[in-house]
Amino acid sequence: MEPTIDLSFSTTSPLSSSTGWWNKDTVAVVTGANKGIGFALVKRFAEVGLTVVLTARDRERGERAVESLKEKGLHGVRFFPLDVSQPDSIKTFVSWFETQFGVLDILVNNAAVSFNDINQNSVEHAETVIKTNFFGSKILTESLLPFFRLSPSISRILNISSRLGSINKMRNPNIKSILQSKKLSVEQIEWVVNCFLEDVRGGTWESRGWPQVWTDYAVSKLALNAYARVLAGRYEGRGLSVNCFCPGFTQTAMTGGRGTHTADDAAQVGVRLALLPPEELPTGKFYIGEQSSKHYNQAISRVLEGFTVDLISLFNNTSLQFSACKMAGYNSLAPKTKNLIIAGGLSAFVFGVYFYTMKAVGGTDELQVAIDKFEEQKKQEAQANMAPKA
């Protein structure tokens, strides 16, 4: 059975190295950590007693971030410059890491860029977005693979991803089926990403079924999720777990300060996930953190396995309903009434699957509302363009 994890931002249960599997020799690397969610993740890892490597592409910003943590009494944080979009910078970082640490327990691929405001969808910077968000994380991951400790505590990679990169945003059926294939390879993922960049260069990207919102960013995260899935499969049972986490609509520079919760809230959840006890740690999963509604609190522990919603909790709820029927004297009812109840139950079940799937994949926050509005507006524009002109 799947582990049930409370991913609501209100979770306050303490994390402590005295009860956990980690200690001060446990090493975590976080990319893009001079601000936003990355910085909050480093702070949280340091608070719970790990040794953390804070990396940032700008030396001054990175060093300032480490200083601000020291002022808070958090001394277990080291800094090294790392621009994930530059293979040479990755090389320099990895050789420094090898001499300074030699072993790695947790890698958080957090660094990312988007050049659009919420209602915009320019692909002017698509090359940079793909190079940073997908290739950057992938090349860094590959370069650090030899250093993972692979101990019984299980090493971990957590990609900070986005539900904008969910497979349901992809409308091109051929690409969708390639990405959903059980035999998906890294080469195929790169091929997909390069197809997108070709479409951008050729000016055909809008008609080719790529995600409609924050298209370049969505493709980069889609590729990152797919890569995590392939890597998780490769390392299954070999001491390395690979998962993705969407922090939800978070107040950072990327969203112009808008969002339903702070970077610290998102980091609380991200760090809980990264520090799950080895026996509860899944691999190849996509978690969505969310400002929780009552329903979402239950749905939140549900995960997307690869690209399929895992409905374990829903099945649990259904079995509860069946027990309730039993208690209400179901067995003594007439067969016709029983059939009616079964038909009603089945419809509710189908609706429930749809409802929970949409919720788990799509979410309900402000960003989603903005996305829906934007998509609706685009639809109307397309219809207006098709309407015969007077």
Ligand X SMILES: NC(=O)c1ccc[n+]([C@@H]2O[C@H](COP(=O)([O-])OP(=O)(O)OC[C@H]3O[C@@H](n4cnc5c(N)ncnc54)[C@H](OP(=O)(O)O)[C@@H]3O)[C@@H](O)[C@H]2O)c1
Helix, strand, coil % over all residues of the chain, rounded to 5: 55, 10, 35
Which of 26, 121, 215, 252 is in the footprint of ligand X by CB under 6 A? 252
In 3D, which of 50, 336, 86, 269 has the Cα closest to residue 94? 86
Q: Does 261 bind ligand X (CB under 6 A)?
A: no
Helix axes 137-144, 87-100, angle to 10 degrees: 30
In the list 28, 38, 166, 232, the residue contacting ligand X (rule: CB under 6 A) is 38
- Out of 134, 249, 296, 356, the residue judged to bind ligand X by CB under 6 A: 249
Considering just the CA atoms, what is the radius of gyration of the chain in Å?
22
The residues in 150-169 that bind ligand X, with binding defined as CB under 6 A, are 160, 162
Which range touches ligand X (CB under 6 A), out of 14-22, 26-34, 118-126, 374-382?
A: 26-34
* 368 lies in the site for ligand X, by CB under 6 A: no
Q: Which two tokens stand for residue 160?
A: 């900070």
Binder to ligand X among 250, 291, 298, 313 (CB under 6 A)? 250
Binding mask 118-147 for ligand X (x = CB under 6 A): --------------x---x-----------
Q: Which of 217, 235, 287, 356 is catalytic?
A: 217
Using DSSP bridges, classify how beta strands 250-251 and 308-309 pair: parallel, antiparallel or unpaired. unpaired
Stretch that binds ligand X, among 35-43, 187-195, 268-276, 297-305 (CB under 6 A): 35-43
Q: Is 74 exposed, middle or buried (0-12, 13-18, 19+ CB in 10 A)?
A: middle
Task: Single out the segment in contact with ligand X by CB under 6 A; choices: 32-40, 141-149, 200-208, 284-292.
Answer: 32-40
Q: How far is the CB of 212 from ligand X (least distance, A)?
A: 17
Find the Cα–Cα–Cα–Cα dihedral 97, 98, 100, 101, rounded to 10°.
Answer: 90
The stretch among 91-99, 229-237, 245-253, 340-348 that binds ligand X (CB under 6 A) is: 245-253
x/- contact string, 49-88, with ligand X (CB under 6 A)? Answer: -------xxx--x--------------------xxxx---
DSSP tag of 388: P
246 contacts ligand X (rule: CB under 6 A): yes
Instruction: State the residue number with the nearest CB to ligand X.
Output: 36
Site size toward ligand X, by CB under 6 A = 33
b/e 311-331 (16+ beta carbons within 10 angstroms → b): bbbbeeeeeeeeeeeeeeeee
Burial class (CB in 10 A: 0-12, 13-18, 19+), 347: exposed
Residues 165, 224: contact at Cβ < 8 Å? Answer: yes
> Binder to ligand X among 54, 77, 113, 219 (CB under 6 A)?
113
CB of 272 to ligand X, least distance (A): 16
Q: Which residues pair with 107 in a beta bridge?
A: 29, 157
CA dihedral 378, 382, 387, 389 (to 10 degrees): 90
Task: For residue 217, indicate whether it is catalytic.
Answer: yes
Residues 6 or more apart whose Cβ sits within 8 Å of residue 267: 37, 40, 41, 43, 44
Per CB under 6 A, residues contacting ligand X are 31-32, 34-38, 56-58, 61, 82-85, 110-113, 132, 136, 160, 162, 246-247, 249-250, 252-255, 259, 263
The catalytic residue positions are 217
